[in-house]
C-alpha cells in the first residue's frame, strides 16, 4: 500500500534508489542515464563528493538559522560569489527556497520598486509570454503561459501574455530569412494596449524550458526587448531558474544576448539539487531604491537562504568555476545538438531538435512538412519517454501538447559534468529508443 499523493495518480512510478555521477539506479539495480538532471537541477550529477563534504561540514556547524533575523557566513559568501559572476551591476542576492518563490519575489519587487521610486501605485502589471513556465504558485502561474494554468484561471491574476519567441512555429509565420523579430515587438503592442503607466515588468525565460522544450529566441530578441523596456520604464525580469548557472553554456544564459536585465530569478542549478534554494539577483539601483525607501522587502519563507542550502550553493558554484563546467556545457551541448540533429531528424516523427548548451529539446510531429502535431489524446511524447526509460535514458517528461495545439516536446538537460564519451552513450541509447518507438507505435 502506497500512501503517497502523487502528481499523476494513475500511473506507476519508478523507484529510484541511488545516484552516481550522471547515472541513477532503481531499486532493482537498473542503471539509467539521468539525461534531464532530475528537472534540469542536478547539474553536478549525483553524489558529488565535494558537495557532500560541504553539506556535512555545514551540518556539523548549523543547519538552520532564520534569515529574517540572522545572517550567516554561507549566505554572505554565496552573495559575493554570485555578485562577481552576474552581469553588470546585478549585485544583490535575495534568497528564497525555490524557483516559484523566486519568480513570486520578482513580481513583488517590480511592483514595490515603482511604489518606492516615485509612488507609482498603478504600475503593477506584469507581462509574460505564452509557452512559458514560471512556477506553480498563484502569482508564478499567472505569469506562466501554458496548460498548467487552465484549471486555475479564476484564481489567477489577470496578466497579459505576448507571443512566444518560437522559431520552429513562428507565431508571425516568418522564416529565418525574413525574420524581423515581431515576437519581441509584440511586447510594445501589449504595453501600449495596457498603458505603460500600468506595467511594472516583463518576465521571460532566456531559453524556454518546461513549457516548450528549449526554444531559443532569435539573436536580436533581448536587445529589442531591453529597448522597449527602457523606453516605457518597465523592468526586465530574466527567469533563469532553469537556464542559469551554466545550463546553456554561459554562467547566466542572458549573456549570449549581451543584455543586462534588472532582475534575474535563479534556483535549480544554484544548489544543483543538493538542497532547496532559489533567489532573485537584483540591480544595485533597485536595492538602493528599497534601502532609501521603506528599507525592507518582505518575502520571507521559512527555509529561504538557510545556511545548509547556502553552503551547498557555495560549493556548487565554486565547483562549476573550478572544474570548467560552464565551458563543458557549451562543448558537450554543441556535440549533443549536432549528433541528435543528425541522428534523430531522419525519424519521420521528429520535427525539430534544438537548444543551447546542455538545454536541448526535441519536438515530435505527425507530419514533418506541415508540422501538424499529434492528437493530444495519443500522449506521444509521454509514450516515447517511457520507451526511452526501457533503453536506460531518463528525459524530462514529454510536455505532450503543452497548450493543446503545438505538438509534443521533451527536454534533455543532462548534468553539466557529462563527458563526450557519456554523450556518445546517450546518443546511441536515444537512437535505439527512437527506432523501437518507430516500429512499435502505430499512429
- The residues of the shown chain that bind ligand PLP, judged by CB under 6 A, are 39, 98-100, 103, 133-135, 205, 209-210, 239, 241-242, 267
Of 199, 187, 195, give the one whose Cα is nearest residue 126.
Answer: 199
User: What does each C-alpha distance from 388 to 130, 181, 259, 434 come to in angstroms?
Assistant: 29, 36, 38, 8
CB of 354 to ligand PLP, least distance (A): 17
Nearer to ligand PLP, 130 or 434 (CB): 130
Residue 348 backbone dihedrals phi, psi, to 5 degrees: -60, -25
Measured from the CB atom, the residue of 115 and 313 that comes closer to ligand PLP is 313
Instruction: Kindly state the DSSP code that residue 152 receives in the 8-state scheme.
Output: G
Integer Cα distance of 132 and 265 in angstroms: 14
In angstroms, the CA 94 to CA 67 distance is 10
Q: Which is nearer to ligand PLP, 100 or 112 (CB)?
A: 100
Characterize the bridge pairing of strands 125-129 and 161-162. parallel
**Whose Cβ is closer to ligand PLP: residue 267's or residue 393's?**
267
Q: How far is the CB of 440 from ligand PLP (least distance, A)?
A: 30
Query: Minimum distance between the CB of residue 101 and ligand PLP, rounded to whole angstroms?
Result: 7
Name the closest residue to ligand PLP (Cβ). 99
Residues 6+ apart with CB under 8 A from 155: 138
- Terminal Cα-to-Cα distance of the chain (whole angstroms): 36
Sheet of strand 393-394: strand arrangement: 16-20, 23-26, 31-34, 393-394
- Residue with smaller CB distance to ligand PLP, 39 or 190: 39
DSSP letter (8 states) at residue 315: H
Q: Closer to ligand PLP at the Cβ: 135 or 373?
A: 135
Cβ within 8 Å of residue 437, ≥6 positions away: 383, 384, 387
3-class DSSP state of 77: helix
> CB-wise, 229 or 242, nearer to ligand PLP?
242
Q: Which is nearer to ligand PLP, 134 or 161 (CB)?
A: 134
DSSP H helices, 73-181, are 73-85, 99-118, 138-143
Name the minimum Å distance from CB 206 to ligand PLP: 9
For the CB of residue 415, give the shortest distance to ligand PLP in the complex, in Å.
Answer: 16
Smallest gap, in angstroms, from Cβ of residue 367 to ligand PLP? 29
Q: Shortest gap between Cβ of 295 and ligand PLP (angstroms)?
A: 28
Minimum distance from CB of 142 to ligand PLP (Å)? 13
Amino acid at each position: 500500500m502506497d500512501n503517497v499523493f502523487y502528481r499523476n495518480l494513475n500511473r506507476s512510478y519508478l523507484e529510484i534508489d541511488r545516484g552516481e555521477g550522471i547515472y541513477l539506479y532503481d531499486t532493482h539495480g537498473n542503471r539509467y542515464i539521468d539525461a534531464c538532471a532530475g528537472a534540469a537541477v542536478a547539474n553536478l550529477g549525483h553524489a558529488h563528493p565535494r558537495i557532500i563534504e560541504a553539506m556535512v561540514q555545514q551540518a556539523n556547524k548549523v543547519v538552520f538559522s532564520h534569515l529574517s533575523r540572522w545572517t550567516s557566513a554561507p549566505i554572505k559568501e554565496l552573495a559575493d560569489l554570485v555578485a562577481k559572476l552576474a552581469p553588470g551591476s546585478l549585485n544583490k542576492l535575495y534568497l528564497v527556497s525555490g524557483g516559484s518563490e523566486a519568480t513570486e519575489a520578482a513580481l513583488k519587487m517590480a511592483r514595490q520598486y515603482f511604489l518606492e521610486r516615485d509612488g507609482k501605485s498603478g504600475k503593477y502589471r506584469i507581462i509574460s509570454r505564452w509557452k512559458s513556465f514560471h512556477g506553480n504558485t498563484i502569482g508564478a502561474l499567472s505569469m506562466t503561459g501554458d496548460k498548467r494554468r487552465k484549471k486555475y484561471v479564476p484564481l489567477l491574476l489577470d496578466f497579459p501574455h505576448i507571443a512566444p519567441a518560437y522559431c520552429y512555429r513562428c507565431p508571425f509565420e516568418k522564416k529565418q530569412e525574413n525574420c524581423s523579430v515581431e515576437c519581441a515587438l509584440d511586447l510594445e503592442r501589449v504595453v501600449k494596449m495596457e498603458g505603460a503607466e500600468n506595467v511594472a515588468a516583463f518576465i521571460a525565460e532566456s531559453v524556454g524550458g518546461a513549457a516548450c522544450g528549449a526554444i531559443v529566441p532569435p539573436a536580436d530578441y533581448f536587445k529589442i526587448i531591453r529597448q522597449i523596456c527602457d523606453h516605457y520604464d518597465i523592468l526586465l525580469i530574466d527567469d533563469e531558474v532553469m537556464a542559469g548557472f551554466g545550463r546553456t553554456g554561459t554562467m547566466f544564459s542572458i549573456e549570449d544576448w549581451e543584455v543586462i536585465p534588472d532582475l534575474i530569478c535563479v534556483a535549480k542549478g544554484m544548489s544543483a539539487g543538493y538542497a532547496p534554494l532559489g533567489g532573485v539577483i537584483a540591480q544595485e539601483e533597485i536595492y538602493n531604491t528599497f534601502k532609501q525607501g521603506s528599507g525592507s522587502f518582505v518575502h520571507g519563507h521559512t527555509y529561504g537562504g538557510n545556511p545548509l542550502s547556502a553552503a551547498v550553493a557555495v560549493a556548487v558554484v565554486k565547483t562549476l568555476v573550478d572544474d570548467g563546467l560552464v565551458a563543458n556545457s557549451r562543448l558537450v551541448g554543441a556535440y549533443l545538438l549536432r549528433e541528435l540533429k543528425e541522428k534523430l531528424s531522419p525519424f519521420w516523427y521528429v520535427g525539430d531538435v534544438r537548444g543551447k548548451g546542455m538545454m536541448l529539446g526535441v519536438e515530435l510531429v505527425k507530419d514533418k512538412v506541415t508540422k501538424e502535431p499529434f492528437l493530444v489524446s495519443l500522449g506521444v511524447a509521454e509514450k516515447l519517454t517511457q520507451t526511452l526509460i526501457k533503453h536506460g535514458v531518463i528525459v524530462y517528461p514529454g510536455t505532450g501538447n503543452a497548450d493543446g495545439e503545438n505538438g509534443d516536446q521533451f527536454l534533455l538537460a543532462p548534468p553539466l559534468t557529462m563527458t563526450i564519451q557519456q554523450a556518445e552513450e546517450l546518443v546511441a541509447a536515444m537512437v535505439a529508443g527512437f527506432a523501437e518507438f518507430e516500429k512499435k507505435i502505430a499512429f
